[in-house]
Amino acid sequence: MTKTDAETLPEYEKPPVIEVVCGVLFKPIGALLIPHFVLLWEKFKPEYSACQEVAPLMPAIERFEDSPGIEFQIADVPPLPRIWFLHTDGNGIIQVQRDRFLHNWRKVRPGDQYPRYHNVIQMFKDRLSRFQAFLDDRKLGTVVPTQYEMTYVNHIPKGDGWETINDIGKVFPDFAWQASEQRFLSAPEGIDWRTNFLMPNRTGRLHVTIRSGVRREDGHRLLLFELTARGIGNDTSPEGMWAWFDLARERIVRGFTDLTGHEVQKNIWRRKR
């Protein structure tokens, strides 16, 4: 994506994004063992002052040839846990496992502002570079990418353009509920919609989910709108990698705009262009 393309992307003053995840899936590094995670954590302290162990993520590879879809792979080496390094301010998470490295920005306080793509991708670049430097210093191996991924998680609370599921079409015009007295079914109790779209030149897919839910901290009803770009291009050089993330960001931003209503864009999220 060129600079000109980026300058024409839709932009919002108050986007509903509450989390952005950037990650790379790579060939498993068999030499990376549990003790190395402790040493790696030292490289990120004191900025990332807490550590947490969670279940590993299973590789899900986008395929396009003989059997289009997602291929779930089983690793040849014993699984290790996924380790989280948590930033002192709560907004950042580094996730590491034997075949994956991710960085999350997340909103944890009402006043937290989305730092924008340029800053999010720079944080990911920096953390990934420090991870590779650690692997080099310890002679453990190198990151050989097999897939990239980027996810934007949006929360649209009740009151921001909708009050009941009957209003879903005000936020997502493609899914308007056609209520009438002649219908047998009442309005849905909740929604759980998902689909995917091809990215240009089979560089990946954009996966979209829209679900109804409640906010954990106060039980307030909301719509969860998640967009994930996943794939890899033919150019796996560092330059090709960052070009893929720029493309993924474009697909996510334009996809978000394509699927949401003009009124909520203008009045709630304050679309600027």
Q: What's the pLDDT tens digit per position in 163-194? A: 998 899 999 999 888 888 888 988 889 999 99
Please give the pLDDT value at position 73: 53
For 239-261, write each residue's pLDDT tens digit.
Answer: 999 999 999 999 999 999 999 99
Give the model confidence (pLDDT) of 202-212 as tens digits. Answer: 999 999 999 99
Please report, as a single letter, which amino acid is at residue 89. D
pTM: 0.92
pLDDT in tens, 40-96: 999 999 999 999 999 999 988 998 876 566 655 555 556 789 999 999 999 999 999
| pLDDT value of position 53 | 96
Q: Which helix (H) or strand (E) covers residue 262, if one does?
A: helix 262-267
Please state, for a pLDDT cut of 70, what percent of the chain lies above it.
93
184 sits in which H/E element: none
**Has residue 39 got a pLDDT over 90?**
yes
Residue 3 has pLDDT above 90, yes or no: no
Element (H, E) at 109: none
Residues 5-15 pLDDT 10s: 667 899 999 99
Mean pLDDT taken over the chain: 92
Span 141-159, mean pLDDT?
A: 97
* 92 contact partners, CB below 8 Å, separation of at least 6: 48, 86, 103, 104, 105, 106, 123
